Amino acid sequence: MSEDVIKAEGLTRVFNKHLVAVNHVNFSVKQGEVFGFLGPNGAGKTTTINMLITILKPTEGKASVMGFDIVKQNNEVRNVIGVVPQEYTADEDLTGLENILLCADLYGIPRKVAKERAEQLLKLVELTDFKDKKVQTYSGGMRRRLELACGLVNRPKVLFLDEPTLGLDVQTRTATWNYIRMLKKEYGMTLFMTTHYLEEADALCDRVAIIDHGKIVVIGTPEELKHGLGGDIITLSIKENADVSGLIRSVEHVKEVKSENGSYWIKVAYGEVTAPFIIEALRRKGYTVTKLSMTEPTLNEVYLEYTGKSMRDTEESRENFRAQRMTMWRARH
Amino acid sequence: MSRTNGNSKSGLQGLWALTSRELKKWLKEPLLLFMAVLQPVIWMGLFGRAMNLGNMFSSGNINLPSVIPIPGSFVIPPQSEMVNINGAALSEMFANLGPSIMQNIFGVQDYFSYMAVGMISFIVMFTAMFSGMSMVWDRRLGFLNKVLSTPVSRGAIIFAKVLNASLRAMFQATIILVLAVIFGLQVSPTFNWYNIFGVYAAIFLLCVGLSSVFLALSLRSTKQETQMAIVNMINLPLMFASNTFFPISQMPEWIQAIAMVNPISYLTDANRQLLVLSLDASRLMLDFAFLGAFALVLSAIGITLSWRYLTK
């Protein structure tokens, strides 16, 4: 099937007639791809995902999932997708198994099939030993895994994950990444995820769309995006006291050279390949390289380039957001 | 990979799954259940037993002197001198008036039987009004969004809440009824066991109407405090402007006007007809007609509003 699994054309959502949460967004996701939506809080990630999973109608534009229109054929869409929401939606007073069976019932899966599938899924997310325990007693990581199991109960073709590792510790986050990789590899599942963790987008996603103020500012593979910035930064020093800027600039793929106190800051495309050529060029003229280091641009720099702000700034407001949510959660208990 | 899709069978499956989820939660928390039952028990004890209206007119409370002189013009034929009346006989006459006053005003001779049935309305009203609260939580914790992303019918999501409120109210009503009988409720001579189904039907109708409106409210209000405030503002006035604890006939006219359109009055009256009063078929029909219309109109409004929210 060569057709795009998800296709959005001019997708727009306006709240209260003037707040444009998602602004004419275009993108497509291919079969078997892990597609990431990266952006700060309030950028429109969740609004986009909510439109794709048919719980919010677009104000303008259209989108399809597995060829089904998200508005006109919303029930067909619901049948082929799985959703792992940002929140822990599993019922605390029910057991893990009961929660999965509840999800199965919502898809109209016959009880017998549902029970078999629940056992498989519990095994998959390593919760078999805890299946009869109330979700109340689960840790954050276990709850996340249970959400994943619930999202897979209808054997979806496309899985939507909204901030799948929000608030998880490093270990649990890595474990979650492994599940996502496995779903892609073993089941050829197409995954659409939102995240505000750059490492996560970098580690998991085949392609990333950076969204800011409701608009997609750039789409590409993490590699493309990083290279698109102009490549890697090489810093080197030479033994001799001479200005070799011109010489370095003449090497192929070198884009920019700045010298400072005898050390050179060089912007190059494909750092790994270019660095040996620079050393060779210098050696041929009799210079000796004493120090060389190379830094690859991270998605953070990509992010900074396109949104004009560092991820750290947005991280702060995210912390506030989480604190708020915790308060709400406590209020219930 | 194939699956039954959107047919009525899976619709029912979803409806039942969502309903039983909440019933399970409720039944798994014995404390909640206990509190839900304790409240009406306390009310029954305080109101029904402390305010012993029937006993007020008993001979023990009427202490007339044994000889009462009255002007002779009071008796027939009129006398010119003072006349003495036998106080003991008069006391007894007054004491006998008590039950007949109770019978005329309340329709039963003991107040407890009267108010215990009102208690059922009380608990039904509370349960129905607070049914929206669980929706507030479902919304906040993301459960609602999760359910909305599944193919389960939107109607099932709404009906599950309404059904849940109704089942809970019926369950609580049963407990109250059993306790009331233990505490001394006297059923009417016309009572038969089939009447219990009538009681459930009446409760169901009121619950469907009330809970669908409060459900729409909880879906639409941004804060759960709004919901609490509205419930707290209207529950007691609605309770007292009805025949739940006191007969409408003794109320000032403006309260009577409210009580006449108050569905709580009709639920209470229907239940009294079925349980403690001698059954008047035409009045019972009227009660059910009103409750039916109430359920129909309010659930139409509530479900329309909820539906619009869920398919926004």
- Weakest mean pLDDT among B163-177, B217-231, B266-280: B217-231
Contact A98 B24 (CB under 8 A): yes
Indicate the length of chain B as a whole number. Answer: 312
pLDDT band at B293 (very low <50, low <70, confident <90, very high): very high
pLDDT at A310: 56
Contacts of B136 in chain A (CB under 8 A): none
For residues B76 and B13, what is the distance between their CA atoms, to the nearest angstrom?
79
Q: What's the average model confidence in pLDDT over B3-11? A: 50
Contacts of B142 in chain A (CB under 8 A): 85-89
Name the residue of chain A whose CA is nearest to B28's CA: A93
Range of the domain at A78: 6-221
Least Cα separation, residue A70 to chain B (angstroms): 11
Facing A91 at nearest CB: one of B4, B25, B311: B25
In 3D, which of B244, B240, B271 has the Cα closest to residue B258?
B240
Q: How many CB atoms lie under 10 A from the CB of residue B128?
A: 26
Q: What's the average model confidence in pLDDT over A158-175? A: 86
In a domain? residue A308: no
For residues A302 and A112, what is the distance between their CA atoms, to the nearest angstrom?
49
In a domain? residue A214: yes
In a domain? residue A119: yes
Least Cα separation, residue A104 to chain B (angstroms): 9
In a domain? residue A329: no
In a domain? residue A307: no
User: What is the β-pairing status of strands A81-84 and A190-195?
Assistant: unpaired
In a domain? residue A304: no
Facing A108 at nearest CB: one of B4, B18, B148: B4
Instruction: Provide the CATH number for the domain around residue A83.
Output: 3.40.50.300
In a domain? residue A149: yes
Last residue of a domain, one of A203, A221, A239: A221
Instruction: Kindly tell me the burial class for residue A203, based on how many C-beta atoms sit within 10 Å of its own C-beta (0-12, 13-18, 19 or more).
Output: middle
| A18-37 residue pLDDT tens | 888 999 999 999 999 999 99
What single string gives the DSSP state of each residue in B105-120?
A: HHSSSSHHHHHHHHHH
Stretch (H or E) spanning A66: none
Sign of the dihedral defined by the CA atoms of residues B135, B141, B145, B148, in that order: negative
Tell me, yes or no, whether A63 and A140 share the same domain.
yes
Q: Spell out the alpha helix ranges (H) of B241-280.
A: 253-261, 263-275
Find residues 6-45 of chain B whose CB sits inside 8 Å of chain A: 6-7, 9-11, 13-14, 16-18, 21, 24-25, 28-29
The interface predicted TM-score (ipTM) is 0.78
Least Cα separation, residue B222 to chain A (angstroms): 14
In 3D, which of B250, B239, B283 has the Cα closest to residue B105?
B250
Name the residue of chain B whose CA is nearest to A111's CA: B13
Tell me, yes or no, whether A185 and A272 share the same domain.
no
For residues B1 and A187, what is the distance between their CA atoms, to the nearest angstrom?
13
Tell me, yes or no, whether A65 and A170 share the same domain.
yes
* Number of alpha helices (DSSP H) and beta strands (DSSP E) in chain A: 12, 14
More confident residue, A144 or A42: A144
Q: Total structural domains in chain A?
A: 2
Least Cα separation, residue A51 to chain B (angstroms): 10
- pLDDT at residue B295 tops 90: yes
Name the residue of chain B whose CA is nearest to A101's CA: B17
- pLDDT at residue A223 tops 60: yes
More confident residue, A185 or B26: A185
pLDDT at B7: 47
Last residue of a domain, one of A171, A191, A221: A221
For residue A102 the two structure tokens come to 């509840």
Least Cα separation, residue A155 to chain B (angstroms): 7
Contacts of B21 in chain A (CB under 8 A): 91, 94, 102
pLDDT at B94: 81
| B169 phi and psi angles, rounded to 5 deg | -60, -40
pLDDT at A170: 84
Q: What is the CA angle B303-B306-B312, rounded to 5? A: 135
pLDDT at B5: 42
Tell me, yes or no, whether A253 and A181 share the same domain.
no
Last residue of a domain, one of A171, A186, A221: A221
Facing A89 at nearest CB: one of B18, B142, B152: B142
Instruction: Determine which of B149, B152, B308 to mutate to test the interface with A (most A C-beta atoms within 10 Å).
Output: B149
Q: What percent of chain A has pLDDT over 90?
A: 40
pLDDT at B183: 84
Tell me, yes or no, whether A152 and A52 share the same domain.
yes
Q: Is residue A142 within 8 Å of residue A126, measured between CB atoms?
A: no
Tell me, yes or no, whether A65 and A92 share the same domain.
yes
Q: Is residue A11 within 8 Å of residue A26, measured between CB atoms?
A: yes
For residues B238 and B124, what is the distance between their CA atoms, to the nearest angstrom?
13
For residues A54 and A78, what is the distance between their CA atoms, to the nearest angstrom?
7
Contacts of B9 in chain A (CB under 8 A): 108
Tell me, yes or no, whether A82 and A188 share the same domain.
yes
Tell me, yes or no, whether A121 and A270 share the same domain.
no
Instruction: Determine which of B1, B23, B146, B164 to mutate to test the interface with A (most A C-beta atoms within 10 Å).
Output: B146
| A88-132 residue pLDDT tens | 889 888 999 999 999 999 999 999 999 999 999 999 889 999 999
Residues with Cβ within 8 Å of residue A147, at least 6 apart in sequence: A84, A85, A88, A89, A90
Give residue B255's Cα distance to chain centre: 18
Contact B145 A89 (CB under 8 A): yes
Reduced to 3 states, what is the DSSP secondary structure of residue A23?
strand
In a domain? residue A1: no
More confident residue, B133 or B49: B133
Tell me, yes or no, whether A78 and A215 share the same domain.
yes
Q: Which residues of A4-27 are buried (b: 16+ CB within 10 A; e: fewer)?
A: bbbbbeebbbeeeeeebbbbebeb
For residues A164 and A85, what is the distance between their CA atoms, to the nearest angstrom?
8
Residues with Cβ within 8 Å of residue A299, at least 6 apart in sequence: A38, A198, A199, A201, A202, A208, A222, A225, A226
Reduced to 3 states, what is the DSSP secondary structure of residue B147?
helix
For residues A22 and A45, what is the distance between their CA atoms, to the nearest angstrom?
8
pLDDT band at A295 (very low <50, low <70, confident <90, very high): confident
Tell me, yes or no, whether A124 and A247 share the same domain.
no
Instruction: Determine which of A93, A105, A160 to mutate to test the interface with B (most B C-beta atoms within 10 Å).
Output: A105
For residues A309 and A299, what is the distance between their CA atoms, to the nearest angstrom?
12
For residue B231 the two structure tokens come to 């419930």
Instruction: Provide the CATH number for the domain around residue A244.
Output: 3.30.70.100
Give residue B269's Cα distance to chain centre: 9
Tell me, yes or no, whether A198 and A144 share the same domain.
yes
pLDDT at B263: 93
Tell me, yes or no, whether A95 and A32 share the same domain.
yes
User: What is the β-pairing status of strands A68-69 and A60-65?
Assistant: antiparallel
